[in-house]
Amino acid sequence: MTLVDVFLRADTPAALAAACPYLVDEEGGWVLGGDGFAFDPIGPVEIEPGVYDDEGGVITPPVVDTRYHANLRCTPEIAAQVPEYIKVFPDNPIRVWL
């Protein structure tokens, strides 16, 4: 079975759920896997680490992308159902499938 990795980003978890309703169960929780897919909800991601002093005080706060991120490993047929506007193509993904 051929699988593809799709990186997803939406403004909120609700926006991602609305774009991909097959990833949500009847109670509103994420469906983490099914026939032909595995879903990895991530949430906000740190895109630049913070700088801290020896006592743990913040010198420079981290830069965080507060949008909702997720990874989807799936068949090409499921990937075709993902709306283009939530797909992203990072050069260096922070979290990937192993």
In a domain, 96, yes or no: no
In a domain, 98, yes or no: no
CA–CA gap between residue 78 and residue 1 (Å, rounded): 13
Start-to-end CA distance of the chain, whole Å, equals: 17
Range of the domain at 13: 4-87
In a domain, 94, yes or no: no
In a domain, 40, yes or no: yes
pLDDT in tens, the chain (98 residues): 799 999 999 999 999 999 999 999 999 999 999 999 999 999 999 999 999 999 999 999 999 999 999 999 999 999 999 999 999 999 888 888 87
In a domain, 81, yes or no: yes
CA–CA gap between residue 76 and residue 82 (Å, rounded): 10
In a domain, 36, yes or no: yes
The structural domain count of the chain equals 1
Strand 58-60 relative to strand 51-52: parallel, antiparallel, unpaired? antiparallel
In a domain, 95, yes or no: no
In a domain, 92, yes or no: no
